[in-house]
Structure 1
């Protein structure tokens, strides 16, 4: 009986209800250590193959030298056989008894020399580890049949020349293999090195990126993205050093901003609305000053703005008014209706002569504004 459609679709519906998702296949991504290990194993195998091939090449060279010695022995025996042939013809052509006897003696000596050559050749041939045709003991006698000697020398010459040619060809083939293996191993080592360097560079970039993220997180406020106290004071010291080199022409200032009434947002509207307000006003602060200036969240609802260079207090007046407007506009946009800003301003080197005291003096000045009615700004008059 065929299953019903509802029965077939039940597992699918169960998967949808249970939220089951197929597990994606795990992809193997080799690291530098794995690549180095595989390359090392391949290198060892290649070196072992090279060692075997080189050993065989040396063996082939020894075989070629042995074949050359045998062929030299064959040539010497063939030379001795030629002398025997000449002496035999001379003895046959001699007419005088004395001449014939002398030629017979020369012929006999030539046969003895031929037998000695054949004995030397037999010592080489019969000692060969290869399956070479052996030279029988009967062929070493001075009285051996010369036709059999000619046949023996011809057979030995053909065999050992073929053996030498075979060994030479085999050696050339193995040398080619060695050269090819060296090229492959060089490419393998070079490729592994390039791959390892590439992966190392990638890891280095990743670590540098992570390090940059950690450094950024250590120097910036997590919620607003503004620089924190640590970043502020580092920039303050850097700017003060530049101002100190030319105090007659350069001045810097710090604005300490406190949001009046902000606590009521958290109490009445909740911390989520308070966080949204801080993020929005931070963005406005950042947009209302120059790129080179620094807007930092000092803590809670307090902000510090570092003006890295200005000429007159009129410029600071305009900046302070824009910062107050930023708070008012954010308050109106979010429909809060009671958040404003009190700002204290301190400048270096006049009237504050120690830049380490800039933030503290600006903070004191901000509290003076609060005591005088809030929602305004004032310049510090204290000199340190």
Structure 2
């Protein structure tokens, strides 16, 4: 047995020990402890439903309080009517007592006071009947009016009964008035709470609307970014390259001194063997690595795009001379060679075609096609070099 084998001796599995009821309970407790606990997080819909339910119950409470306030006001007004009727009866009683005192004087002529006395007694009888009818028709249970006929009861007895009746209904009026004030205060507090709830609901709705807009804006930006960039390398795609080329040409024409634009078209030589020999995953890693080098080698204002497969393009928005373009092409070719050396591919290089506007083509929309044609000229003449669209004989190798 070798040393490596001796280091890999399997550890013997211990025999399973007998587990009693307490041990099984402990194991179940440990298993339950490992179960992840889900925390309930209320969503916008549940919050909105809860707020609407609170608003509904609040409005129902306010409606019930207002209904009770109206009922208490009715009781208060009715108690006022009974008190007014009792006051009229008391006034009639006092008037009758006055006529009785006048009739009892020795100097009075009894015959002359009989009509007035009878009228006062009849008025008292009508007042008592009216008071009794009001008390009996009360909307809330009330003690009935004791019998107090003006012909049988003395004015003092009538005054005592009226005092107790007035005290009871005055207490009822005061209680109803206090209840009205209390319920009005409750309604006011409930309305303030409902207003605060509505304000919070409005703020929450606005916040949710703003959050949703931000999410949609973020998704829109993500979709726009995905539609304009290559998913593997993160570089711009053909669509963004053409849009940037149109914008750059428009700016170049509007400048005081017309600027020149250039497109460098890059195709990787020998990249197919990488996919065939090492697999597509290694090929993707190579493309991502060389794309990062491309992006780092160009100027900040220039645009690197992946056209498709192993083809790339660089938009140069301004340059001074063809030598500057040749230097950029040399850097791009060096990026491919360095990536190939680092990853050990063994033979991946680059062919670069260069076309400029308005020097080589008079229409910026043909720049990409002209640079592609110049790149194929390099392919036909040996690869691993660069060439200009209008001067295809001027080539260089790295």
Give the TM-score normalised by structure 1: 0.87
**Aligned mate of 1:222, from 220, 228, 231:** 231
Query: How much does 1:104 deviate?
Result: 5.1
Deviations 1:223-270 (A, max 9, x none): 211111122222222222222323843221100011122222223333
Q: For residues 315-354 of structure 1, what are the alpha-carbon distances to aligned partners after superposition, in whole Å with 9 as ceiling and x for unaligned? A: 2122112112212222222233422221111112222111
Runs of 4+ off more than 6 Å: 9-12
Q: Give, in angstroms, the shift of residue 106 of structure 1.
A: 3.4
Q: Indicate if the aligned counterparts of 1:361 and 1:380 stay in contact, CA closer than 8 A.
A: yes
Counterpart in the other structure of 1:69? 81
The correspondence of residues 1-384 of structure 1 with structure 2, limited to 5 A, is 6-8=17-19, 22-92=34-104, 94-98=105-109, 100-103=110-113, 105-136=115-146, 138-246=147-255, 248-381=257-390
Quick check: 320-329 or 262-271, which moved more?
Answer: 262-271
Alignment size in residue pairs: 372
The separation in 1 between residues aligned to 2:140 and 2:263, in whole angstroms, is: 100
Tell me the CA shift for residue 66 of structure 1. 0.7
Contact kept, 8 Å, 2:97 with 2:155, in 1: the verdict is no
Alpha-carbon distance between aligned partners in 2 of 1:244 and 1:122, rounded to the nearest angstrom? 106
Question: Deviation string for 1:8-32 (max 9, x for gaps)?
Answer: 59999x99xxx99955334433333
Per the alignment, do residues 291 and 36 of structure 1 end up closer, same or farther by CA in structure 2, a change over 3 Å counting?
same
Structure 1 residues 255, 43: closer, same or farther in 2, change over 3 A? same
**Aligned residues of 2:124 and 2:150 also touching (Cα < 8 A):** no
Q: Secondary structure at the match of 1:6?
A: coil
* Aligned 8 A contact 2:270 2:347 in 1: yes
The residue matched to 1:373 in structure 2 has which SS?
coil
3-state SS of paired residue (1:119):
helix
Deviation at 1:297, TM superposition (A): 0.9
C-alpha separation between the residues in 1 aligned to 2:323 and 2:112? 142
Alpha-carbon distance in 1 for matches of 2:241, 2:32: 50
| Distance in 2 of aligned mates of 1:171 and 1:185 | 21
Question: Kindly tell me: are residues 142 and 31 of structure 1, through their superposed partners in 2, closer, same or farther at Cα, counting changes over 3 Å?
Answer: same
What is the CA-CA distance between 1:213 and the residue it aligns to? Answer: 2.4
Map Cα deviations across residues 72-129 of structure 1 (whole Å, 9 max, x no partner). Answer: 111111222222232233333x33252x443455334322222222222122112113
State which drifts further: 364-373 or 141-150. Answer: 141-150
CA distance in 2, matches of 1:211, 1:240: 27
**Contact residue 261 and residue 319 of structure 2 kept, 8 A:** yes
The 10-residue stretch of structure 1 (314-323 or 328-337) with the greater mean CA deviation from structure 2: 328-337
Q: Distance in 1 between matches of 2:55 and 2:341?
A: 74
Name the Cα RMSD after superposition.
2.8
Q: Distance in 2 between matches of 1:358 and 1:55?
A: 83
User: CA offsets, 1:338-381, max 9 Å, x none?
Assistant: 22221111112222111221111000001112222322212211
> In structure 2, how many angstroms separate the alpha carbons of the residues matched to 1:257 and 1:20?
61
Q: TM-score, normalised by structure 2?
A: 0.84
CA distance in 2, matches of 1:77, 1:219: 98
Separation of aligned partners in 2, 1:21 and 1:36: 34
Deviations 1:145-173 (A, max 9, x none): 22221111001100010000011111111
